[in-house]
Every structure is written in C-alpha cells, then in structure tokens.
Amino acid sequence: MKNLIWLGCIILGVYLIAHAKFALAQMIPRQKDDAQVLGLIEAEDFNEIHLAQLAEQKNIDQPILAYAWGLERYQRKNLDDLRKLSSELGINHVSNNGQIVYMRRRGEQEIFNLAPLDQDDFSREFIWDMITGHSKVLSWIDSQDVHHAEVRKFLEETMRHITFQLKMAQQIREKVLR
C-alpha cells in the first residue's frame, strides 16, 4: 500500500512538472523560432554573397555579371537589415546549430563545384543554382511561423526581393543562355 501511494505521488509529480513546463512554454515568446529563422536567413545571405563574388571574378556575359553585382548588393543590405532588426528586438539569432552549419557547408560546396567551371558552364550552373535556390528559399520562408510582427514584415520584404531575383535569373536563362 505504501508503495502504491509513492507511485501515485510520483505520477502526480511528473504530471505537474510536465504541465508546468507546457504552461511556461506557452507564456514565453517563441523567440527561438524567430532566432532560428533569422539565423538561417543570415546563412543564406552569406552563401549568396560568396556566390555573387565568385561570379564577379569570372569572365562572364554582362547581364549575368550585372545580376551577380545586384545580388551581392542586395544580400549585403538584407544582412545589415537582419542584424539591425535582431538588435532592436533583442533576438540573438542562432548561428551555429546543425541546420545552419549544414546550410553554410552547402554554400561552400556550391562554390567548390562552380569555381573550376569555364565561362559558359559557370554561367549556366550559376543561373540554374539561382533559380532552384531562390525557389526553395521562397517556399521555406513562406512556411515559417514567427512570433514578432517585425520579423514577419522583414520576411515579407525579403520574399519580394527574392521573387525579383528569381524572375531576373529566369529572364537571363531565357534570353542569354538559350
């Protein structure tokens, strides 16, 4: 009987602890979600900047070079805006979890794969990477559920620019890289 009482107390204690953690989780803003999203956007910005810089070093057609220059310029601005927003909201965006490390390594691998290509092959692969990458990022951003309205506004603005970059890459593929 004594063991049964102890067992009941343990079960009740586990239930109360679990319920308290759940209630606490509901009260704390989902800043980690926002931090994770901003961290992934930061990693993608870095990848795009490095790819654009690689393209700028290549002897490629003017429309593709102009695209790379504009891409780098926008990604740097987006990165600055992201850091400013993080600071204003007190969000320490995540920069070293597994998903972000994977994204950065994927960017390094893209550069490694593109760097040795000649002008024509590089141009085709670079634009193809821009089309597929921007399409994936748009879908990913659209699926995010963030806590802060300011972060949502930032993501919407980012999506507008990514959509523009995607359309530009598609036009280059159609008109320049036939």
| pLDDT at residue 126, rounded to an integer | 94
Query: How many angstroms separate the Cα of 44 from the Cα of each of 19, 22, 48, 158?
Result: 37, 33, 6, 12
What is 30-175's CATH number? 1.20.1260.10
| pLDDT at residue 26, rounded to an integer | 43
Distance separating alpha carbons of residues 60 and 3, to the nearest angstrom: 79
Structure tokens at 173: 């593929």
| pLDDT at residue 113, rounded to an integer | 93
Task: Report the 10 Å Cβ neighbour count for 155.
Answer: 18
Residue 13 CA to its chain's centroid (Å): 41
**Domain chopping of the chain, boundaries:** 30-175
List per-residue pLDDT tens for the chain, 178 residues long: 655 566 555 565 555 455 544 443 443 333 458 888 999 999 999 999 999 999 999 999 999 999 999 999 999 999 999 999 999 999 887 767 788 888 889 899 999 999 999 998 999 999 999 999 999 999 989 888 888 999 999 999 999 999 999 999 999 999 877 7
| pLDDT at residue 154, rounded to an integer | 96
Task: Report the 10 Å Cβ neighbour count for 97.
Answer: 12
